[in-house]
Amino acid sequence: MREIKTVGVIGLGTMGAGIVEVFARGGLQVVGVETTEELAERGRGILQASVDRAVQRGRVSEQDRDALLRRVRISTTMQDLSGADLVVEAVPEVMAIKDQVFSALDGIVGEDCILASNTSSLSITRIAAGTDHPERVVGMHFFNPAPVLKLVEVITTLRSDPEVVQTVSALSTALGKKPVVVGDRAGFVANYLLFGYLNSAIRMLEQGHVSREDLDTAMRVGAGLPMGPLTLMDLIGLDVCHHIGDVIYGHSRSQLHAPSATLEQMVTAGRLGRKSGRGFYTYARTGGSQVVPDELTPQNGEQAGVERVAVVGEGTIARELVGRLEDGGYAVTHLADASGDLSAVGSVGLVIEAQEELDDTEDGSVADRDVDDLFRELGQTVAEGTVLATVNTYSAVALAAISGRTEDTAVLRVHTPTGNGQVVEIGRTTATSARTVELLRGVVRAMGAEPVVCRDRTGLVVDALLISHLNDAVRMLDEGYAGAEEIDTAIQHGLGYPMGPLAMVDHIGADEVLVLAEELHSGSSCLPREALAPSPLLVEHVLLDLPFTGR
């Protein structure tokens, strides 16, 4: 294994300056190179601002900051990299520019110098092929912000020297990072999974399935992810998302990565996210994070409150609903025996069907009472304007037609709380009135949960996006992209997930994930059907009762 004392970094934008900081924090001598004095000063300013923030937050002492900065030399001459043991390229994601950089390095650095690219999507094999010594070229993909996020993807090619790979991986560990060694595949691990998920989220938005705010709430709160997909894309930069997505699709041809017309139009219009002050959201200033209202910001809808709510059904879910509704200030009628007289619910403003879903009988009924019959009778019994809802997996369209209450029927999907709170999804039909939606939003908030309104399609938002994302991770494992531990490490430490996707499958239950994946594949999800087929490896693990993570 080689000893690394001096590192060069080419390109001092946000990523490059962050990588310089990582190496300098690790006690290494660093030479940062830019093309002009102006860009060099900008890079120096990014580094200075970052380490000053670390001092203000108590993460670094002033003495350590000053020592770190003394280990960094900024240059505009690539010849100053001649003594480097490792050079990391962090220039724009354009193959021609990277080719120029690596060709120049062949004539500058020593033969023992390792060359690495921080590319997030381009082929390391292609980059290495243009050099005199492809065996010394690897990918060293940091994640933004580099000083904070732990993941480093170490990408190998068929010609990578094992000693080079071992050296880069060991160095990453010594720097406090979590290295994951992966082969040179489209998008590597983290970006391949991430951009399939992000692209699916955009598809939901452009089809009018859900609003931007509710989409982000669904995945941040309902799935427990660090931020919603649209907020994340605004942070990354929509131009960067568009470029990476196109590269991955060019290699994979996966329908989950098919280019988005909406994203292309936004980039063409200059709406690049935070960096331009406008993306999916509008920001108070260019480069800032404070979201301000714009023409797409939801206005307060028609206010419709209720005082009395009825819960029909017995079991854990029904009892929990009764308790939370009472805590929310509602007078609750609990009709535990759904087969009994429904006249007691005739004067309430909202009826929620919450029977336990047991094994279905041949005619599709559940243990308590056939739901079709229940909604048919409710439609004849309750007062005009009473909202009818179910927390079970029934079609709002079918129940609206059966009850005859087309404007007043919706489905509720109560999700398990995450570290970010709890989501209750409100599945609406084309005919569901704004009054019904706003009434249900108010009830959900009174219960201490976050409402997400969407069209009544298979999986609604949370399950449709999360389960397809997890299924894609299992498919990645099956196709040999990387091992289970590497995939989970990449996603948990590169994207900040509370746990890796395969650990999440084990946590939810592979059998439950398979059931939901099969429903998505055969149902009315707005995601591409051909991309939703359950992975054969998922089926195998369910049948053999095998965990993915060994925990």
Q: Which residues are catalytic?
A: 120, 141, 153, 191
Chain-centroid distance of CA 535 in Å reads 20
Asked whether the CA dihedral 252, 255, 256, 261 is positive or negative, the reply is: positive
How is 232-256 classified by DSSP, letter by letter? Answer: HHHHH-HHHHHHHHHHHHHHH--GG
- Between strands 331-335 and 151-156, the pairing is unpaired
Residues 6+ apart with CB under 8 A from 306: 330, 348, 349, 350, 387, 439, 443
CA distance 22 to 30: 10
Instruction: Please state, in angstroms and rounded to a whole number, the distance separating the CA atoms of residues 60 and 342.
Output: 67
Q: What is the C-alpha separation between 215 and 229, in angstroms, rounded?
A: 8
Q: What's the angle, vertex CA 42, arms to CA 73 and CA 32, rounded to 5?
A: 25
Identify the H or E element spanning 218.
none
Structure tokens at 329: 């200030």
**Whole-number Cα distances in Å, 539 to 475, 504, 535:** 11, 16, 7
Give the integer Cα–Cα distance in Å for 54 and 462. Answer: 36
Contact yes or no for 189/199 (Cβ under 8 A): no
- DSSP secondary structure code for residue 397 in this structure: H
Do residues 533 and 257 lie in contact, with contact meaning Cβ atoms separated by under 8 Å?
no
Beta-carbon count within 10 A of 42 CB: 16
Q: Count of CB atoms within 10 A of residue 362's CB?
A: 5
- Spell out a b/e string for 488-501, using b for 16 or more CB atoms within 10 Å of the CB, else e: bbbbbbbbbbebbb
As to burial, measured by CB atoms within 10 angstroms (0-12 exposed, 13-18 middle, 19+ buried), residue 239 is buried
